[in-house]
Amino acid sequence: MKRILAVAVGLNLDNDRCQLWQNVIGGAQNVPLRPYVTGLIEGLTALGMNPGQDFQIDYATCHPRGLGQLVKSSVGETSPDAIFAMSTTAVKAAMAASKTIPIVFPSISDPVDDGIVKSCAAPGKNATGIQAMRRHTADQCLELFKATVPSLRTIIGLHKPDYGPATRAYSRVRAAAKRARVVFRAQTVRSHKEIVDVLSKMSPEPGRRGPEKGVLIMPDDLALSAWPKIAKIAGERKIPNFFPVTDWVRNETPSVFAGFGIPQRTCGEAAAVYMHKVLQGVSPKVLPVKPSGGFEWAVNARLASVMGITIPASVLSAADRVI
């Protein structure tokens, strides 16, 4: 049986504990898997690998500061055949832990700029995977956010400090904010607790036509990992929020307000093709980084009604998915 070590920034929202779950497929542990992992399992299954028989997954999650040490200890404990690293931070932690274990990523914005590969055509290192273009479409997210909530005057961009995929998006986002006639302000956060504190102190600033302040989740693994808390608090405080993925715009509670991007689940399925190859012995060095398709625009109209937002009819007809 092949063993895959899945690595992600922050899963536990109520504490800062690093954690390794072993044998999450078919195990007794109730581990809330990221959509990336769900997509990976579905993709490998479609390629003829039986979950729990042909492959097993161990799952390591931690806050950004402790992820590197957790990955190192998890590699020693589980001896994985491959690593599934779900963000730039996770890939760097995996590469620091091993220069030989194949690493497959489902979503990296700038693999060359961040030193993960030598080139997208010829990675030349032990990592390869999917480029989901989240940094490159951050401006579209802002413009679609404004189109969905026309009353917005200020948009707060949430991300951790000095995170390349987010900070490199600034020029695009600020240009988009100028076109959309809104003020864009970056807000850095270092932990889930800081994210909760920022949202808890934020006022939606309701105007005559609807909320004038909203939160844009930048392409940032820490902020994305805190989606349940963001959705819950923003929903309670009636603060519209917009994500660069659409997996959590859903019927269930909590749900994020809206999003645009390639769903994490779709990226996981795409990455499964490369994971299948490396598990068969193909070197990541020769597998080019591939851009993924499948962009989706999703909005939660029911949540909009609760927030006092009237989504324009043009948005409702143009969006790919309306809850």
Computed from CA positions of residues 218, 224, 226, 228, in that sequence, does the dihedral angle turn out positive or negative?
positive
Which strand ranges, in their side-by-side order, compose the sheet holding 258-261?
183-188, 154-159, 213-217, 241-243, 258-261, 296-299, 321-322
268-310 pLDDT, tens digit each: 999 999 999 999 999 999 999 999 999 999 999 999 999 999 9
User: What local confidence, expressed as pLDDT, does residue 11 receive?
Assistant: 59
Percent of the chain clearing pLDDT 70 (strictly above): 98
In the block, tokens 């909590």 appear at 254
Computed from CA positions of residues 287, 68, 229, 150, in that sequence, does the dihedral angle turn out positive or negative?
negative
Q: Which domains does the chain have, with CATH numbers?
A: 2-132+263-291 (3.40.50.2300), 138-261+296-322 (3.40.50.2300)
In the block, tokens 């864009």 appear at 184
Pull the structure tokens for residue 201.
Answer: 């102190």
DSSP lists the bridge partners of residue 217 as: 158
pLDDT of 13 > 50? The answer is: no
Residues 6+ apart with CB under 8 A from 250: 300, 323
178-229 pLDDT, tens digit each: 999 999 999 999 999 999 999 999 987 777 788 999 999 999 999 999 999 9
| Distances in whole angstroms, Cα of residue 1 to Cα of each of 22, 98, 179 | 14, 21, 53
- How far is Cα 118 from Cα 213, in angstroms, rounded to an integer? 41
pLDDT band for position 17 (50/70/90)? confident
Residues 6+ apart with CB under 8 A from 76: none
pLDDT (average), residues 315-322: 98
